[in-house]
A and B are shown apart, each in its own frame.
Chain A
């Protein structure tokens, strides 16, 4: 009797500590975000206006969309460094094909398909050929940036403001910027897929113990490939958002974008070693980065500092992720 109840008690506390361990970083980032919001609201007088907050949402929309997909990739213990270059290539090509008279709808579909194809190549090399994704996507980063530069010859290409596609980046529905709406929808769908579908379950399983998952009969290579298709397509969408917002496609767009996306994901508590992923954390992470960038600009801090701060945050987040929060959790990698 006493033995059994003791066992129940210890397992209950194991559950509690496991849950706290899993969510500690998400809770922490939520606290940090609230603190930042309060800080900037008091120090930067234009910060807490509806206009600025909508603007902030529009700014972080590309980051949030790609970070949602990146949460799946990192959940499998993978990484995709090529998303920034894919943003540049898709934005540039979109502007070029529109200039050549393509129908905007066709152009949009073609660009997203191209992004998915880039992801497919990344996924095929890393998942089917077992080449470390770090190397595969680093190579792809270079290839795609080079292709974008070659296609544009380094010039940026204007997009005609009368085309409907410009609304994707600049339009509003009921006063809310369309990119912000799109980002929220993508993040919610990502959350649903990660936590409530077999695919999301297999993503976690693959990052946790891929061989064990394979032995239960799941096609792990397909899962490992699919996550890169997600980041590829998401990066293309982000490229479209950025190009249509600026009414111009540039081969220099999205430089350092991969770093921002990965920082948002890691900041939210997703483990770089795979097996643990939090979509809520990713959303909070992207918001935090956006608030910092936006707030610093409003405080007239030199924009060059933003990059320094972001790199510092990434380092700090990884440190916290692997050293500090691990102590709370029952599971150690």
Chain B
């Protein structure tokens, strides 16, 4: 509230988001807000609904109900294109890239540089720009014209990250971006998060590497079985507290059920 009085509008507010998959209640009314330049860590058990919530925000999943306000305007995303046009980029946990398309092609998929009045791909520019973007992000992939199916898991993930950050997003969603990365590459991603958030980009980071969260996050949101259970300040929260928030509910519920 005080933020809004000071003229600072939240970058994004998700209100009471619900999504059912048949018998599975993936999201049971989640409310989440992220400020401009803020880094929010989203944690929770497997199947807590983190990826589903983020896919809703990226337009890849249409929620059953709920409201999304982006930069003060109520929006609704029918397709990922709608979200992408507003500057929401996501690195997905699964199905990120097209294996048969080369590195540069994947990087520009959906917004290829064109020539001849938009009719033809500008392949030369695509490779040159891809080289520039990868170098700027310190991503070591020597060739941009090999199909990504031939790359290592970490290299593939690096390409997916590069795709998300390259086009100047306002909100960057990273769903387990470091899962396949080596130590040095993880550091690069954490530095990247710090750099872009300093430039005003909001970041939502999902990871099971809890120690990373404390290094880059401003706030930590804990999800549990399709609900948001806790919203913590990263600076004043201890690792023990966070772990207990993630698992404690679990034991309580189980005991409750047993009785």
The chain A residues found within 8 Å of chain B, CB to CB, are: 4, 7-8, 11-12, 14-15, 17-18, 196-198, 201, 204-205, 207-209, 211-219, 275-276, 330-331
Chain B binding surface, main DSSP class: loop
CB of B79 within 8 Å of the partner chain? yes
Contact of B98 among A197, A219, A275 (CB under 8 A): A275
Contact B80 A214 (CB under 8 A): yes
CB of B215 within 8 Å of the partner chain? no
Q: What would 17 more interface pairs be, CB under 8 Å, given A196-B120, A205-B109, A331-B100?
A: A11-B143, A18-B150, A196-B121, A196-B123, A198-B112, A201-B121, A205-B100, A209-B95, A212-B97, A214-B79, A216-B109, A216-B110, A216-B163, A217-B79, A275-B98, A275-B100, A330-B149
Contact of A275 among B84, B96, B99 (CB under 8 A): B99
Q: Which residues of A are found within 8 Å of B60, using beta-carbon distances? A: 214-215
Q: Which residues of A are found within 8 Å of B90, using beta-carbon distances? A: 215
Give Cα A218–Cα B84 distance, bound, in whole angstroms. 11
Contact B97 A7 (CB under 8 A): no
CB of B23 within 8 Å of the partner chain? no
Contact flag A215-B95 (CB < 8 Å), given A197-B121, A205-B101: yes
CB of B7 within 8 Å of the partner chain? no
CB of B256 within 8 Å of the partner chain? no
Contact B81 A211 (CB under 8 A): no
CB of B58 within 8 Å of the partner chain? yes
Give the distance to chain A from B79, nearest Cβ to Cβ, in Å.
Answer: 7
Contact A208 B101 (CB under 8 A): yes
Give the distance to chain A from B161, nearest Cβ to Cβ, in Å.
Answer: 14
Contact B98 A204 (CB under 8 A): yes
The chain B residues found within 8 Å of chain A, CB to CB, are: 58, 60, 79-81, 84-85, 90, 92, 95-101, 105, 109-112, 114, 119-121, 123, 140-143, 145-147, 149-151, 163
Give Cα A65–Cα B34 distance, bound, in whole angstroms. 54
Give Cα A215–Cα B98 distance, bound, in whole angstroms. 11
Give Cα A14–Cα B60 distance, bound, in whole angstroms. 33
Contact A215 B149 (CB under 8 A): no
Contact of B109 among A8, A15, A211, A218 (CB under 8 A): A218
Give Cα A215–Cα B88 distance, bound, in whole angstroms. 12
Contact B146 A14 (CB under 8 A): yes
Chain A binding surface, main DSSP class: helix
Contact B80 A216 (CB under 8 A): yes
Q: Which residues of B are found within 8 Å of A275, using beta-carbon distances? A: 98-100
Contact of A208 among B99, B111, B120, B150 (CB under 8 A): B99
Give the distance to chain B from A195, nearest Cβ to Cβ, in Å.
Answer: 9
Give the distance to chain A from B182, nearest Cβ to Cβ, in Å.
Answer: 12
Q: Which residues of B are found within 8 Å of A204, using beta-carbon distances? A: 98, 100-101
Nearest 5 CB-CB pairings of A with B: A216-B110, A217-B81, A330-B150, A331-B149, A275-B100
Interface centre among B60, B120, B142 (most CB of A within 10 A): B142
Give Cα A299–Cα B145 distance, bound, in whole angstroms. 46
Q: Which residues of B are found within 8 Å of A11, using beta-carbon distances? A: 141-143, 146
Give Cα A275–Cα B149 distance, bound, in whole angstroms. 11
Give Cα A212–Cα B159 distance, bound, in whole angstroms. 13
Give the distance to chain B from A18, nearest Cβ to Cβ, in Å.
Answer: 5
Contact B80 A217 (CB under 8 A): yes
Q: Which residues of B are found within 8 Å of A219, using beta-carbon distances? A: 79, 81
Contact of A18 among B92, B97, B110, B146 (CB under 8 A): B146
Contact A331 B98 (CB under 8 A): no
Q: Which residues of A are found within 8 Å of B149, using beta-carbon distances? A: 18, 330-331
Contact B121 A212 (CB under 8 A): no
Interface centre among A15, A205, A207, A212 (most CB of B within 10 A): A212
Contact A209 B98 (CB under 8 A): yes
Contact of A15 among B85, B121, B150, B163 (CB under 8 A): B150
Contact B109 A213 (CB under 8 A): yes
Residue of B nearest to A217 (CB): B81
Interchain Cβ contacts under 8 Å between A and B, 22 examples: A8-B142, A11-B142, A12-B142, A14-B150, A15-B150, A198-B121, A201-B121, A208-B101, A211-B95, A212-B109, A213-B98, A214-B80, A215-B90, A215-B95, A216-B111, A216-B163, A218-B109, A219-B79, A276-B100, A330-B147, A331-B100, A331-B149
